[in-house]
Structure 1
């Protein structure tokens, strides 16, 4: 809220900020609000925080070689000076004390702020953080980080009331047409279905209710498509259907079917302008004081899942280097990007929300060779390349880079490819400025579901967010030259901790109530036509499929827990089997497929008598930990090892011990005949 006097002062400051180097791609910064963040709260030595909101205006030169990678930028409208102009809202949280800090830019995930949830433990998403509750436990604030958020994407579905996603309007290549593909499934029979991607939007047909549009169906991704008679279905106007991107079918849509809708669309958005906007906003922040505070001492960029893949695309395209040839950020943390995302976000008619997993969306450009940070050869194309070939600045420097996946990404997102050849035959070590981490037994996000549905098993209970907190500190120290980061820790072919699905199924223990999947995602090799690689223009939609990239999975130990990588406390001192896969329930229509993001947990038998009666080959809790004190001692020893290795912050030692002791107590108190999952969580 603004008083007139305060607003006048802010307007004066904003006007002062218009001054900039002539070559800057940031046209101006407008500050619209400056308020206390979490009023009355002091975050340790960092003290109180404030929130600054505003709008950043960008002016990209389409003729600048540093912008050449942005697909269709030259087709976007230009101002009188020949520049493509657009804007993005931003939010900055920083200490009130005017001291140089490390700035972390959080790439939002489908419009939602992510870092406050996964690092600070904040609850429900709030894209306009204001209160102490929005800070969670205040981890990032207590360590003195400034946090910056802005909009980069457009394809975010209309939110529920009160939710304010960070969304921007990118430039548009007016008058351009081309084919668009929309794959979708339904979880229950319905006459009306949404054909946009996950929580997303898509392009509407260039011709309303396009009579030439094609709707097909198939049971599995590789099955032949069967066309559905055009007279049986139609597009629905948004005002009639309750939102955009709806289609209706006589007889209804059914679970267990993959539907695909293709048609001609028009006016593609220049989506990668959002990536350039991130680059230029960070570059501006590096060189300019803002509202009385000096520029940050260093800049990190952080992204989870979709937003982690976006960082991968920025590096692949050289969009980490600004128009002056300088790095926009000093360090990057890509969390759960799977195979890295080097093919997404920057093509004509791209839908940023879409990406392949074991069941879904095998025809979308998200991942493609190269996958590794050091050069590798693709035996199919004959090309040799790395993801960082264009990422160096004018002096040859690279940002420091963490790439961290959970075991789930090895099953559903091709994560093994970031460290192997494309045929899965040999290890490829990371570059000197890159560290690879894999959180074993963990799922895409920390599970909290009290129900099995829509899956067969209870979800995994591992908490890799604690390791992520430590890695944030590790990356900051590495970038600052204060300490070396933890050694890369991920499954490898050379030591037998990375294996084939067939070998996994053979080794995985039998009779424990978990059935390993038949397959994992073999990353599709897609051919969109001759213009796609160089120009980002797809002429083949759907694309043709070539020989898939070969992917591998972590090898299991005798308990069924993953070997290699970062073995969290939960795996060093296990209370059961944590897998990174979960089976879909039969009622979903896809019982052969794994859950997209979730793993499984199957506790050990409580006593030897229960173990023998169940025929469970895994030693019981009674055998492993004769007393609770014995378990606690083992947990503390494991936590100490994680602390020494750099995968646990000192303040989180007691937390991980308490979390695991609490789970132990709940397992002992739970009747195994009760198949609910509620007992797994406090």
Structure 2
């Protein structure tokens, strides 16, 4: 098989076996090459990189494709099918018989591979990712490779950046009577926080016309401020994809929110991304090696998604794509990290999947819609009932992991409460939810504590050790039937889940404190997003201990045996909109070293010297906290050893 694939280096397309069933009609391999210089990864031995593309086609009349927006308006081939082509990247054991039989699929985040540096502690290459893993260093802890898993990535986002190893998918444009569709759209253009510090702004879509007819621009300083119209003399198209502010050289204030409504053209059929993931994974699991399948012998499939791609996987499940066209389950287990309670603005005409709703930015985009939880609940606003898990026999086993940030910014409490936050909602047996206490959205090893755009230093806590333990737990749940650790989240019953103004957070000198969380609003229209009247959904947040760290959840040694206060929130500082939640950042405030230092600063938190007589006492406390997590299967023994070693070297403790 390896010799067949190696012969395809010239990107010759090899027809897939049984295309009518597999829906992947051809694969092409550009490269098959040793990974990490041929290094051996335990019983699985050496790995190799397989890089290429997959072509597929969809039957618009198949009921399993009926939910794809505008699929019926896409061009069809001679067989009446809609075609797509997606990037494919595989790390597999050179000898398939030495592998575990488990496919681990990571849904890329805006085309990027996050597994290695967000979960496995590898240093990032660029763009917060390791998009082109080649070396042993790129593998980080190499946990899934040491377990013998085959790692797979494929593109699902049509506009993802494909440079430098980024992955995307090519999908058709929806047309009507042979002409591209034109419709009114809304773009939010943010200065400096999620966009360039100055114009031109890049539009999500191409404008359908060069004049200003049907278009309008407004600006506001804060999300809740009324929008102020920008006169027609204050802006112009640079080209169909950019917007200029006039007169030339006009600079928006950092963090300003511009809203541009205009007529756009040529919407891509973005929901094909869901079907492409479904069909590529189904093909890799089930097609015969003789038909070009580069991953023979796989028995189970797991999926991992972080942030945007975690929300993608939530919608993948909710919208019914975990059943392939042959009536088989696609993913046996899913681990979604830092997705909160939302989905993704993908499967819609003129969808914008790179948007993410926070208190300041993208606040009025359709990301958060009932049902939020894996538990079947009733929506008190609409009267509808529903659940993230469909109960149709194709649901995966589901682990959802969030940090404190997702409670403050992404409504994560709604995973385990009713929509109004009035009662706890027990999850079904096939689902678990976890909070990494006092963690923050961007947490990963080596995160600097610099303030950046925020008022407080950034939180350095990494949730990666928890993710590694839960990835193993999901693996064992799927392959051996060993149930994972019970959910560990703040609850109403225990008094650890509270409104944002009732956290009990201490008054700490020099720390700007958040008092409000990002609220969910029900929107009737993505272009004219006025919130619907009536009750709104009610996210809640974790209660804090006397140090300001979260009381409930998985308390890593940094929180159980603290040297600082860690939070999942931060606030913007001037010249940004001071007081608004600072995107998805967290805060960090170290303890004073001595009692005299803390008293001089007016700090109510006991100092390091008051807590730990010496480094030996501190190290022993860290070891106990780590071992308790190992017993609960929330930390791997190898990571407990890393914590012990780090405590022995920590010079913050005398």
Q: TM-score range by the shorter chain?
A: over 0.9
The Cα shift of 1:407 comes to 0.4
The answer for the alignment partner of 1:194 in structure 2 is 201
The answer for the alignment partner of 1:437 in structure 2 is 434
Change in CA separation of 1:12 and 1:217 when aligned onto 2, cut-off 3 Å: closer
The Cα shift of 1:5 comes to 9.5
Alignment of 1:102-501 (within 5 A): 102-123=102-123, 124=125, 125-156=129-160, 163-174=164-175, 175-187=180-192, 192-196=199-203, 202-237=204-239, 244-250=241-247, 251-290=250-289, 294-341=296-343, 344-389=345-390, 392=392, 396-446=393-443, 448-501=447-500
Distance 2:11 2:499 in 1: 62
Distance 1:49 1:294 in 2: 15
The Cα shift of 1:54 comes to 2.0
Asked if the contact 2:630–2:636 (Cα under 8 Å) also holds between the matched residues in 1, the reply is yes
C-alpha distance after superposition, 1:7-40 (max 9, x if no partner): 547789963x522263322112223321111123
**SS where residue 631 of structure 2 aligns?**
helix
Asked if the contact 1:114–1:304 (Cα under 8 Å) also holds between the matched residues in 2, the reply is yes
Change in CA separation of 1:421 and 1:292 when aligned onto 2, cut-off 3 Å: closer
Alignment of 1:69-84 (within 5 A): 69-84=67-82
Distance 2:597 2:87 in 1: 58
Asked if the contact 1:427–1:493 (Cα under 8 Å) also holds between the matched residues in 2, the reply is yes
Change in CA separation of 1:7 and 1:623 when aligned onto 2, cut-off 3 Å: closer
Distance 2:457 2:154 in 1: 36
Distance 1:471 1:182 in 2: 38
> Does residue 1:618 correspond to 2:622, yes or no?
no
Asked if the contact 1:218–1:257 (Cα under 8 Å) also holds between the matched residues in 2, the reply is yes
Distance 1:246 1:645 in 2: 54
C-alpha distance after superposition, 1:139-177 (max 9, x if no partner): 221121110011111223585xxx231122212102222
**SS where residue 587 of structure 1 aligns?**
coil
Asked if the contact 1:570–1:660 (Cα under 8 Å) also holds between the matched residues in 2, the reply is no
Distance 1:451 1:344 in 2: 32
The answer for the alignment partner of 1:199 in structure 2 is none
Q: For 1:600, which of 578, 587, 591 is the aligned residue?
A: 587
The answer for the alignment partner of 2:64 in structure 1 is 66
C-alpha distance after superposition, 1:353-401 (max 9, x if no partner): 0021011111211111110111112221111111123x63xxx242101
| Bigger mean CA deviation after superposition, 32-41 or 66-75 | 32-41
| Bigger mean CA deviation after superposition, 104-113 or 561-570 | 561-570
> Does residue 1:567 correspond to 2:566, yes or no?
no
Question: How many residue pairs align between the two structures?
Answer: 633
Asked if the contact 1:69–1:317 (Cα under 8 Å) also holds between the matched residues in 2, the reply is yes
The answer for the alignment partner of 1:511 in structure 2 is 508
Change in CA separation of 1:6 and 1:265 when aligned onto 2, cut-off 3 Å: closer
Q: For 1:558, which of 521, 525, 546 is the aligned residue?
A: 546
Distance 1:476 1:102 in 2: 8
Change in CA separation of 1:319 and 1:143 when aligned onto 2, cut-off 3 Å: same
The Cα shift of 1:322 comes to 0.9
Unpaired runs of 5+ residues, structure 2, are: none
C-alpha distance after superposition, 1:96-145 (max 9, x if no partner): 12225211011000111111122222222342322223222322211211
Distance 1:306 1:616 in 2: 38
Distance 1:367 1:256 in 2: 23
How large is the RMSD of aligned CA atoms in angstroms? 2.3
Asked if the contact 2:233–2:246 (Cα under 8 Å) also holds between the matched residues in 1, the reply is no
Distance 1:191 1:96 in 2: 49
The answer for the alignment partner of 1:534 in structure 2 is none
**SS where residue 160 of structure 2 aligns?**
coil
**SS where residue 261 of structure 1 aligns?**
strand
Asked if the contact 2:338–2:402 (Cα under 8 Å) also holds between the matched residues in 1, the reply is yes
The answer for the alignment partner of 1:521 in structure 2 is 518
Change in CA separation of 1:495 and 1:59 when aligned onto 2, cut-off 3 Å: same
The Cα shift of 1:330 comes to 0.5
Distance 1:420 1:644 in 2: 28
The answer for the alignment partner of 1:634 in structure 2 is 621
Asked if the contact 1:211–1:230 (Cα under 8 Å) also holds between the matched residues in 2, the reply is no
> Does residue 1:609 correspond to 2:596, yes or no?
yes
Asked if the contact 2:548–2:567 (Cα under 8 Å) also holds between the matched residues in 1, the reply is yes
Distance 1:5 1:586 in 2: 60
Distance 1:13 1:132 in 2: 30
Distance 2:626 2:408 in 1: 27
Distance 2:119 2:200 in 1: 35
Distance 1:292 1:184 in 2: 42
> Does residue 1:577 correspond to 2:581, yes or no?
no
| Bigger mean CA deviation after superposition, 228-237 or 285-294 | 285-294
C-alpha distance after superposition, 1:614-667 (max 9, x if no partner): 2211111111110100000010011101111111111111212334555x41x3
The Cα shift of 1:178 comes to 1.5
Asked if the contact 1:195–1:261 (Cα under 8 Å) also holds between the matched residues in 2, the reply is no
The Cα shift of 1:584 comes to 1.3
Change in CA separation of 1:172 and 1:5 when aligned onto 2, cut-off 3 Å: closer
C-alpha distance after superposition, 1:390-429 (max 9, x if no partner): x63xxx2421011110001111111111111111111111
Asked if the contact 1:119–1:139 (Cα under 8 Å) also holds between the matched residues in 2, the reply is no
Change in CA separation of 1:8 and 1:248 when aligned onto 2, cut-off 3 Å: same
Unpaired runs of 5+ residues, structure 1, are: 197-201, 239-243, 529-537, 670-682
Q: For 1:42, which of 32, 40, 43 is the aligned residue?
A: 40
Q: TM-score, normalised by structure 1?
A: 0.88
Q: TM-score, normalised by structure 2?
A: 0.92
C-alpha distance after superposition, 1:461-515 (max 9, x if no partner): 22210110111111000011242201111111111110001112xx111134323
Asked if the contact 2:108–2:155 (Cα under 8 Å) also holds between the matched residues in 1, the reply is yes
> Does residue 1:644 correspond to 2:631, yes or no?
yes
**SS where residue 408 of structure 2 aligns?**
helix
The Cα shift of 1:543 comes to 4.5
